[in-house]
Amino acid sequence: MFDNSFPFTKHFTDKFQGAQYLKERTTYIFKTQKEKYHIEVEEYLFNIYVLKFFPARLKKHPRRFNVLTGENKMGKIVATCIQLILQILKKNPMANFGFLGSHTFDPKRFYEESKECTKRFKIYRYAVYNLIGEEYFSHFMEEKNSTYLLVNNKHKDVDLIKEQANIMFDTIFPSLR
């Protein structure tokens, strides 16, 4: 399922001078047979990188992270994100990573998934746990919010990074509390 990935290219980086937590956002692009996608990598304090992806045509759509494309390429898209994680780790060996498994919204079928333990979260959890494992990262999950945090085991105090991440994300995303 996660055997191969799409080639991706760096598109641009926005720096956030003076922002409380967010340092920069780098956008990467890859193409499937039918869609062009963006992967946004947000770098926060404490070496935390959050990866988000969406179809480029939905860039301005408020639910760009929730809509299904019908392509059924999730395994290959997640593998592409894993390749990006490995690239980030080469540049920053102390990097930590976060994910949010957005809930599905399908207006054609009048369906909106609960935010708890979403399908995307389950796929990310399976992929990250099986492809990255516990040797190099400590895994912290909150099923009620479908959030996942990987804390690099090279840090002396993994629990401190987790606590700082929780404080930071509670401030940035109060709806996750």
Residue 168 placed within a domain: yes
Residues spanned by the domain of 27: 8-172
| pLDDT tens digits along 138-156 | 999 989 889 999 999 999 9
For 123, the 3-state DSSP assignment is helix
| Per-residue model confidence (pLDDT) at position 153 | 97
For 57, the 3-state DSSP assignment is helix
Q: How far apart are CA 153 and CA 137, in angstroms?
A: 5
CA 41 to chain centre: 8
For the ranges 91-95, 128-132, 167-171, the maximum mean pLDDT occurs at 91-95
| Single pTM value for the model | 0.92
Task: Give kind and range of the element (H or E) at residue 159.
Answer: helix 158-172
| Per-residue model confidence (pLDDT) at position 5 | 94
| pLDDT tens digits along 112-130 | 889 889 998 999 899 988 8
Residue 1 placed within a domain: no
Q: How many domains does the chain have?
A: 1
pLDDT of 177 above 90: no
Q: How confident is the model at residue 1 (pLDDT cuts 50, 70, 90)?
A: low
Strands (E), the chain: 8-15, 22-31, 36-44, 48-55, 96-100, 105-106, 111-112, 137-142, 147-152
Q: How far apart are CA 57 and CA 38, in angstroms?
A: 9
Residue 177 placed within a domain: no
| pLDDT tens digits along 7-64 | 999 999 999 998 899 999 999 999 999 999 999 999 999 999 999 999 999 999 999 9
DSSP letter (8 states) at residue 56: G
Residue 3 placed within a domain: no
| pLDDT tens digits along 56-81 | 999 999 999 998 888 889 889 999 99
Q: How far apart are CA 106 and CA 95, in angstroms?
A: 34
